[in-house]
Chains A and B, each alone.
Chain A
Amino acid sequence: MIEGAAWRRWVFFRFPVAIFLIFLLFPFYWMVITTFRPDGELYIPWYRANYKPLWTWNPTTAHLKYLFGETTFITWLWNTTFIAVVATAISLFCGVLAGYALSRLNFRGAALLGTTIFVTYLVPQTLLFIPLSEIIRTYSLGDTPWSLILTYPTFLIPFCTWLMMGFFKSVPKELEECARIDGATRWRAMLYIIIPVAVPGILSAMIFAFTLSWNEFIYALVFLSSPEQKTVPVGVISELVRGDVFFWGPLMAGALLGSIPVAIAYSFFVEQYVSGMTGAVKG
């Protein structure tokens, strides 16, 4: 709490928060304004008197039309959605089961396996993309969505497992014991008692995994080559940049529309997203 005079609240709270908000959100404003600004206004050097960057009185949809008419943006959106949804589903399936096993069952090597999965969680994608591209090629998965659907779980599963372990640990053991005394098998107790209780955790893992796979870039860049197979980030960079020429209007339109689906998914699950993020950190 900032105590005392009003000016203190301005200096120590409102002003810094405003600066942070401008710093963090200005690029998005810039995306929006560029999307709707006609080319004639875009390409004015900054030192000219008629450079009025912050607003436009002649909004245009030309860039959006270019994006949908001249590129396969719709296909990229569909590819990205499909890959993100399937990769998330696979990762949740594996992660929930593995998280349950590692947090609630006693077996030899549990601690070692838990540590191993934590370590793979820390392996960055950029460490393995070259050998992986070789492997993708030998399995002739290159340039198909399956190259990404099968590789995205490598960074999603460790994350989901780690997050679910934290959630399962917080479910009291008695709940399961009651079900067992009533005659449920371990399998049924897990499926009908423990997993339903962990639904908030599963939602967190889901929203987080979905945004991670929507945003993934390097695997998509290396494994995909034909324009109609690409995901939004790769499609935008390869089709809207020709050599040194940047089509800034359509580029910003693509950036905006490529960000909106994750932003919407996120806005529905802000709380789950935040608890997923902080849960993974604290876990």
Chain B
Amino acid sequence: MATTAAPSVDREIIIGKPKWRPLESEGNLAMLLLLPTIALLLMFIAYPFMRGIMLSVTNSKVGVAGDFVGFENFARLLKDPIFHTVVYNTFLYTFVTTVFKLILGLWLALLLNRNFKFKRFVRAFILLPFIVPTVLACFAWKWMFDPTFSVLNWMLFKLGIIASGQGINWLGDGDLAMLSIMIVNIWRGVPFFAISLMAGLQTISPDLGEAAAIDGAKPLQRFWYITWPLLLPVTMVIVLFSVIQTFADFQIVYVMTGGGPANATHLFATYAYQLGVGTGLLSQGAAVSLAMFPLLFGIVIFQLMYIRKVETR
């Protein structure tokens, strides 16, 4: 009997021995799951970023490797009058459009944040400007802004705002062209603000507003003292996203004006494109788009700090 018992003890030991399961360790599993993401981001974000910095301190052109020139490209930018316009334009464009997108988006969100017929329908339709390809929608705008065939001029004419001899040359004049691209950017961004803010509004309990109404608060007061403070954290995050996208905008300007007339509407991205791809001055183009980085970084840090302050309040 004793001899037959011995092997079964042995077998028990073999069964009891834990299988080798490296993925039961959270660290190992995490590494495996993150591997594809890290590999792709290293290859196509970190590496190009380094490569961009290397490019910006050489004088390379398309097909020519170039030599190390230190900060010459950046020094040239500081003296470049077009670059000064670019910096001014980008800040103006970002600031003005963000203010309008926020105001109009908030207004639209408040309008839609109630029950009415066709609500889902309206909500689905207003997002269209945000989801269709920007370039394609910009062509519709460019066609609407056409100096000779402009339907906008026709509307203003019919409304009696302009006479038939004084059509507005929307994209032909520097300041008007800037205004035009801002209108298109606002058109594209308002739906994003409205829908995101609506989602924020829905998290605010209507009881608060009703309680204030019973206490005699007017609609404007209810908005200012109850809705707005509660909405502020969400608003700040939306503004953060929008500012980054607007600051780095390319498509609208590229299609509407191509940076013209006479370089009056260039932003960082379009100027970088013109230098780096249009004229083949790779290193200078890389320097322009990299110059965006510290500015963007500063804006993001500032906004994140503000968001933290708002959220911990």
- A residues whose Cβ falls under 8 Å from a Cβ of B: 1-2, 13, 16-17, 20-21, 23-25, 27-28, 30-31, 34, 42-47, 51, 53, 90, 93-95, 97-98, 100-102, 105-108, 110, 113, 117, 120, 122-135, 150-151, 153-154, 157-158, 161, 185-187, 211, 214-215, 217-218, 221-222, 232-234, 236-237, 246, 248, 251-252, 254-255, 258-259, 262-263, 266-267, 270, 273-274, 277-278, 281-282
Contact B196 A281 (CB under 8 A): yes
Q: CA A94 – CA B143 in complex, angstroms?
A: 41
Nearest-CB distance from A133 to chain B (Å)?
Answer: 7
Contact A281 B234 (CB under 8 A): yes
Stretch in B71-79, B81-89, B269-277 with 4+ CB within 8 Å of A: B269-277
Most buried by B among A23, A27, A129, A246: A27
Q: CA A211 – CA B165 in complex, angstroms?
A: 43
Contact B157 A46 (CB under 8 A): yes
Contact B24 A185 (CB under 8 A): yes
Nearest-CB distance from A232 to chain B (Å)?
Answer: 7
Q: Can you spell out 5 A-B residue pairs with CB atoms less than 8 angstroms apart?
A: A24-B125, A127-B293, A186-B24, A217-B133, A251-B139
Contact B132 A262 (CB under 8 A): yes
Contact B187 A23 (CB under 8 A): yes
Instruction: Please report the total number of B residues contacting A with Cβ < 8 Å.
Output: 98
Residues on A with beta carbons closer than 8 Å to the beta carbon of B116: 13
The secondary-structure label for the interface of chain A is helix
Say yes or no: A124-B143 contact (C-beta < 8 A), given A24-B190, A135-B47.
Answer: no
Residues on B with beta carbons closer than 8 Å to the beta carbon of A31: 140
Give the top 10 A-B pairs by smallest Cβ distance, nearest first: A124-B248, A278-B199, A126-B269, A131-B52, A255-B136, A259-B132, A47-B164, A101-B33, A131-B51, A233-B135
B 18-55 contacts with A by CB, 8 A: 21, 23-24, 26-27, 29-31, 33-34, 36-37, 40-41, 44-45, 47-49, 51-52, 55
Contact A24 B122 (CB under 8 A): no
Nearest-CB distance from B236 to chain A (Å)?
Answer: 10
Say yes or no: A130-B126 contact (C-beta < 8 A), given A113-B34, A233-B136.
Answer: no
Q: CA A133 – CA B285 in complex, angstroms?
A: 12
Say yes or no: A107-B134 contact (C-beta < 8 A), given A25-B125, A129-B289.
Answer: no
Is B290 part of the binding interface, using a Cβ–Cβ cutoff of 8 Å? yes
